[in-house]
Amino acid sequence: MTALSILDVSTIAEGSTAGVALNNSLDMARHGEKLGYKRFWMAEHHGMHGIASAATAVALAHVAAGTSTIRIGAGGIMLPNHSPLVIAEQFGTLHALHPGRIDLGLGRAPGSDMRVARALRRNLDTDPHQFPRDVVELQAYFAANPELGIHAVPGAGENVPLYILGSSLFGAHLAAALGLPYAFASHFAPAQLDEAIAVYRSQFTPSAQLSRPYVIAGYNVYAAETDAEAELLATSVQQIYVALRTGEPRQLPPPVPNYRATLPPPSVALLDHMLNASAVGSPETIRRQMGAFIERTQADELIIACQMFDHEARKRSYEITIEARDALASAPAMATN
């Protein structure tokens, strides 16, 4: 059965605050824990009007302290923004407080634009080998490699599994070479999904962490009792993506009826591309669309993204999603009876 997880960015709805968003993240993690989701990941973004998860390790500490069994992690930490030692210490601390529950996904994008990257005060190194070197250095801190001459405390000896995140073939090659799980950001950049998965699986080299390839695919689900209701709820994130790509980022707006019909063709094409890996609709529609995506990718796990203006509607969407997964898992057995 395909595992399901939750991807969260602590979305700030219009008229709300970062504090409300972060507490909604905790509430969603608790909800996911009860429903049986495998992990709850938060993503690092900076300078974004509608996202409150910039201090990702701090936000994860808030969520981890309020849950007990669901895995908690970064999906991901944008490693070029940080020194590997600092990340080893941050996630070593999280693991020391919540042993056996912490994941660390690593990406190489800045998590915003280059102005923000400069403001974060790391060298803007364009060397394509810097990210792989940083990943290996981070592994060495967790392994307490004496050649470093530095002991990460907490961090050294903490069993924090690493995941490589990506939306291109670069991450697929790196995850395969290092023998690490690979998470593809198909929930907003699906273009190279199939090729990247094929590269990763064909080139995978077993490691101490992982003996066989493990693929996580980002997937959007906007579920409600009817197709029409789900399509309306999904217009909030559609507005966000159009605003972001037109240089006018904003907080998450309320749904707008018939929103797509108001858009020019280039914006419709943008949404069709960015949200290609999505299921929008009633429970039956979600089951059918998500089932087709699982069949296509053979992903070991889907990490579900869902930004909705109404928090309770979002919680219900995650309920429908896992119910649809369970129905898919039981379908073959039912067919043989």
pLDDT in tens, 302-314: 999 999 999 999 9
Mean pLDDT of the chain: 94
Dump pLDDT digits (tens) for 168-202.
999 999 999 999 999 999 999 999 999 999 999 99
Helices (H) and strands (E) in the chain, counts: 12, 9
Q: What is the mean pLDDT of residues 11-21?
A: 97
Read off the pLDDT band of 121 (50, 70, 90). low
Residue 333 has pLDDT above 60, yes or no: no
Read off the pLDDT band of 111 (50, 70, 90). low
pLDDT of residue 110: 66
Residue 125 has pLDDT above 80, yes or no: no
Q: Is the Cα dihedral 171, 160, 221, 255 positive or negative?
A: negative
- Cα separations in angstroms, 75 against 202, 230, 257, 300: 24, 25, 32, 16
User: What 8-state DSSP symbol labels residue 146?
Assistant: G
- Domain 3-228+276-335 belongs to what topology? TIM Barrel (3.20.20)
pLDDT of residue 332: 63
Q: Greatest CA span in the chain, whole angstroms? A: 63
